[in-house]
Amino acid sequence: MGANISKLAIKKQAWHSNMTRLNHLGESLKAKPEVFGEVMDQMFSSQVYSENPLTALLMKTTSTQKEIGGLEWEWNMKGATRKPGVVTKNINPTAAVFGTYNTSYKLALDCSDFKIGDVLAPAGGDKIYQSRIQSAPMAQGSSWIYTLKLVTNDSQLGVPKAYFQPNQEWIKMFSTYGEGAEMGGSVTFADNLAFRNRLSKFRKSYKITDYAAEEVLAVSLMNAKGAKAKSWMPYAETIFWKQWYKELEIALWYSRKSDNVADTTGEMIRSFPGVQEQLEDSHTHKYSNLSARLIEEYLMDIFYSRVSPGKSRQIEAWTGEYGMIQFHKAIEKATSPFLKNVEVYSSKVASPMHQNSLAFGYQFTEYRMANGAVLKLNHNPLYDDRSINSEIDPVTGYPKESMRFTFLDLSGEAGESNIQMVKKKNAYKFWYVDGGLSHLGPKNGGSSAHEGEYYSMNVSDHRGLHIKDVSKCGELILSRQ
């Protein structure tokens, strides 16, 4: 594994006397974790460090970060203000239609929300079957019985029996009354839906021997005023930090919620749900062949009736390298009749083969659809990682996960993103345990914690992932079955 950490690394070099205690990053982190913890986050999860794209994205602004005092957090979301009534049973006599010739009929629903004067209609039927409630609902077991009459001048019209079967939905249209009315229509208030999520504790330990600590990595850090300062850390420690942040990135995507696994201490390990588990309750769809039409129809399920047409219909998709190729081919196939001007996609390049050499090519990474919908594609290197994705697609020969598309909507309200990285306040810990070798070099006198010619470094933190509204997100998952 290389030790390139963003653009901050200057060079690897051997120990020398100019490496002061003050400029050792690990020593600074140990002394001020609240300050230098953020420095480490920036170094190993920067936008140019491609292994941790989601971590980098969520650390980019304050709107995508949340700090809490405990191990769990709760939030509320408004439910729908227009709720349908669900048919519990058919209590009418056997007939093909009901309500003809201005006769009343009975309707058994699961709620008592509606009042006399409310006009209901079958949610899945023609609006010609509008019917007015004529008397207050009467309780009958777990059902509420309404008496209704069709609002029509057509005496032959009747409501088909199909709309009285269990699980059919009826919706309120409006409320109507006559002259001198003494009543008014019902008002439905949205219920607050409560949600809860939690943090997981992560920890990592690493032993660095005297041989492994011989090389160091010089780095250049930028302070708040834009000035650069040189610092350093052992090269072996960069391996530690790269693996630490890679594991945190994996947890963001793949962690599963559990309370049933015990630690060696006997305490239960509380793990948080990652992106994929939280999106199991969102818009998920299995596909075998990716097409522009599939993408448009899938995104319509997310946006329709929730987000008004316009600039607010923007979403980002995360996929593997093969998924990016499939996306390009799908959009290219849909737009091929319009791609006729070869010169637009050509450019001159230097070549010993010809004095007028040209390069040709393009790749679709963004799709702008009707009604303002915009899809931007991002690469997720974890979806290509064979070390954690061993299921191979028999058609392509690449990991099946590489063709997974995860749609994340980070837009939010009141300055907070819909998706946030969550940390526990004052939970970040970092420390060294020195032996014959310390993190600042060989020990010459003084006391040590152990006799071994190595030192260990340890880090511990609590982290979680907050997705406020999963209905804004979703996944397209490859399935050949």
Write the DSSP string, 460-480.
Answer: EEEEEEEES-GGG-EEEEE--
Integer Cα distance of 318 and 92 in angstroms: 52
> Which amino acid makes up residue 70?
G
* 389 vs 19, more confident: 389
Q: What is the pLDDT of residue 82?
A: 60
CB atoms within 10 A of CB 281: 12
Note whether 270 and 286 are same-domain residues.
Answer: no
Note whether 172 and 310 are same-domain residues.
Answer: no
Note whether 413 and 284 are same-domain residues.
Answer: yes
Note whether 321 and 401 are same-domain residues.
Answer: yes
Boundary-marking domain end, from 142, 159, 189:
189
- Does residue 260 contact residue 268 with C-beta atoms inside 8 Å? yes
Integer Cα distance of 388 and 254 in angstroms: 10
- Does residue 436 contact residue 210 with C-beta atoms inside 8 Å? yes
Residue 431's alpha-carbon distances to 66, 233, 439, in angstroms, are 25, 14, 10
Boundary-marking domain end, from 169, 189, 209:
189
Q: What single-letter DSSP state applies at residue 57?
A: H
Q: Would you say residue 102 lies in a domain?
A: yes
Note whether 367 and 433 are same-domain residues.
Answer: no
Q: Which residues of 104-130 are buried (b: 16+ CB within 10 A; e: fewer)?
A: ebbbbbbebbbbbbbbbbbeeeeeebb
Note whether 331 and 238 are same-domain residues.
Answer: no
* In the chain, % of residues over pLDDT 70: 84
Q: Residue range 313-331: average pLDDT?
A: 89
CB atoms within 10 A of CB 287: 16
Note whether 253 and 241 are same-domain residues.
Answer: yes
Q: What is the pLDDT of residues 58-76, one digit of tens each?
A: 877 788 888 888 888 777 6
The tokens of 436 are what?
């014959």
> Which amino acid makes up residue 135?
S
Q: Would you say residue 457 lies in a domain?
A: no
Q: Would you say residue 460 lies in a domain?
A: no
> By C-alpha distance, which of 282, 294, 284, 299 is closest to 371?
299
Domain count within the chain: 3
Q: What is the pLDDT of residue 80?
A: 47
Note whether 127 and 161 are same-domain residues.
Answer: yes
* Beta bridge mates, 72: 198
Q: Would you say residue 4 lies in a domain?
A: no
DSSP strand pairing (192-198 vs 143-150): unpaired
Q: What is the pLDDT of residues 134-166, one digit of tens each?
A: 998 999 988 999 999 999 999 999 999 899 989
Note whether 391 and 474 are same-domain residues.
Answer: yes
Q: Would you say residue 220 lies in a domain?
A: yes
Please report the sign of the dihedral spanned by the C-alpha atoms of residue 37, residue 43, residue 46, residue 52.
negative
> By C-alpha distance, which of 316, 319, 322, 320 is closest to 302?
316
With tokens 């793990």, the residue in question is 271
Domain that holds residue 68: 9-77+195-275+429-451
Note whether 315 and 379 are same-domain residues.
Answer: yes
Q: Residue range 257-271: average pLDDT?
A: 86
pLDDT band with cut points at 50, 70 and 90 for residue 363: confident
Question: How far does CA 471 lie from the centroid of its chain?
Answer: 10
Note whether 368 and 294 are same-domain residues.
Answer: yes
Q: Would you say residue 3 lies in a domain?
A: no
Radius of gyration of the chain (CA): 31
pLDDT band with cut points at 50, 70 and 90 for residue 47: very low
> Which amino acid makes up residue 8?
L
Q: Would you say residue 67 lies in a domain?
A: yes
Note whether 292 and 266 are same-domain residues.
Answer: no
Angle between helices 33-44 and 235-254 (to 10 degrees): 80
Helix then strand then coil, % of the chain, to nearest 5:
25, 35, 40
Q: What is the pLDDT of residues 428-475, one digit of tens each?
A: 888 999 898 888 877 888 888 888 888 888 999 999 999 988 888 899
- Does residue 234 contact residue 439 with C-beta atoms inside 8 Å? yes
Q: What is the pLDDT of residues 346-361, one digit of tens each?
A: 677 787 777 777 777 7
Q: What is the pLDDT of residue 465?
A: 92
Q: Would you say residue 462 lies in a domain?
A: no
